[in-house]
Amino acid sequence: MATATTLEVLHQYLEAGCALVEDIYAPEEVPLSKTTNVDGYAVCSSDPPGIYKVLTSLTHKLFSELPKASIFHIDIGGRLSTGTNSAIVVEDTELESAPKDADGEVMEEVQVKTLAHVSLGENVRQPGSGMHKGENMMKMGEVIMSSSGEVGTLAFIGCRGVKVFRKPVVALLSTGNELLDLQSRKPISGDGWGWIWDTNCPSLQPTLEGMGYKVVNLGIAADDVDTCVRAISKGLELANILPVMGGTSMGANGLFQPVIEWRFNGTIHFRRVVMKPGTPSTPDPQYGFAAASPDDQAGPQKKGRGLMLMGWALTMPLAQNESLSKVEAK
């Protein structure tokens, strides 16, 4: 099995759509120590309401025992000072004394009066209350999106990087003598055809690229066997998934069924679906784009390239010496 690429979480937005290779577990408790969920003061629950000296991170070391008759100024998310076990919200206190600056504005408080009694653990987040060490945070196969909260979840647990499956390369191929390329604007044959603009590739390419996939536009292939074989061969060489638009007409004009079956040893999984309106649909109900090997007994380790036609879902076996890394994780 090929190995997966490592992706930096801080740059994950550049790789939208990647799927996790493995489950992600929390490496430690969150929070690691007692913190508060209010703005106020860290206090000892046994202390009654009254007037107390206010200490801050500038006047008191967090891990030193809090002196008697003192409370510790604390903000939301801050750690409790050693010797305290509760927090009182600022709304339940009154300013008792504080120096003023030259403009008469009150500076850091010196003393405050607590107006309420707080119980043991009140307004305190216990260690591990947000997340326990070893807790499963994300599942294998979960997709990391740029517009969702997956990156925030990974950052929340301090995860610097994750292993993700390399996204497949998609090659787009349109077929039909009647099509005109928007860029070249030249008919692909001189027999009077060439009067319909190709909208499939121009529409699909930005959609797929917007999802973070690399796209190879193979252009338009003429309606003859040799051209179709060359175009499909090139697409399978360059990409993992090859949607083909056209060539699925009923009757003799449908070139791709014999091309796929005879030239590429492919398997047609289905050709038509019961639906209205009758536009052909291609999703494989079990495997999606990348269907299984034509050999039903081959198992998941023998996967073929995914090839989609407008109307069919099929697969092509890998060459005997071809690396699975192109369709599996890298």
* pLDDT tens digits, one per residue of 249-267: 655 556 777 888 888 887 7
Q: Which of 93, 97, 91, 55 is nearest to 73 (CA)?
A: 55
Q: Which of 55, 174, 172 is nearest to 108 (CA)?
A: 55
Alpha-carbon distance 210 to 55, whole Å? 53
Query: What does the pLDDT read at residue 306?
Result: 52
Asked if 130 and 30 touch (Cβ cutoff 8 Å), the reply is yes
Contact residues for 78 (Cβ-Cβ < 8 A; gap 6+): 35, 36, 42
Could you tell me the pLDDT band of residue 283, with boundaries at 50, 70 and 90? very low
Query: What does the pLDDT read at residue 12?
Result: 43
Alpha-carbon distance 127 to 133, whole Å? 10
- Tell me: pLDDT of 242 over 70: yes
5, 73, 166, 295, 326 from 290: Cα distances, Å: 20, 59, 14, 14, 12
Structural element, H or E, at residue 156: helix 150-156
Tokens 């929390």 sit at which residue? 26
Q: What average pLDDT score do residues 229-247 get?
A: 88
Q: Phi/psi at 262 (nearest 5 deg)?
A: -95, -40
Tokens of 103: 């403009």
Could you tell me the pLDDT band of residue 102, with boundaries at 50, 70 and 90? confident
Instruction: Determine the residue type at 32.
Output: L
- Tell me: pLDDT of 315 over 50: no
Alpha-carbon distance 172 to 320, whole Å? 25
Alpha-carbon distance 204 to 210, whole Å? 10
Asked if 199 and 217 touch (Cβ cutoff 8 Å), the reply is no
The percent of residues above 90 in pLDDT, for the chain, comes to: 32
Query: What does the pLDDT read at residue 16?
Result: 63
What does the DSSP assignment read for 248-315? Answer: --SSTT--HHHIIIIIS--EEEES--S-SS-------TTTTTS---SSTTS-TTS--EEEEETTEEEE
Asked if 23 and 136 touch (Cβ cutoff 8 Å), the reply is yes
Asked if 324 and 240 touch (Cβ cutoff 8 Å), the reply is no
Tokens 């198992």 sit at which residue? 299
Tokens of 22: 């493995």
Q: What average pLDDT score do residues 158-180 get?
A: 85
Query: What does the pLDDT read at residue 281?
Result: 44
Instruction: Determine the residue type at 98.
Output: A
Q: Which of 255, 281, 279 is nearest to 269 (CA)?
A: 281
Q: By mean pLDDT, which of 56-60, 96-100, 130-134, 267-271 is the weakest?
A: 267-271
Mean pLDDT of the chain: 76
Alpha-carbon distance 244 to 311, whole Å? 10
Query: What does the pLDDT read at residue 271?
Result: 66
Rg of the Cα atoms in the chain: 32
Query: What global pTM score does this model have?
Result: 0.57
115-150 per-position pLDDT tens digit: 999 999 999 999 998 889 999 999 998 888 777 788
- Tell me: pLDDT of 280 over 80: no
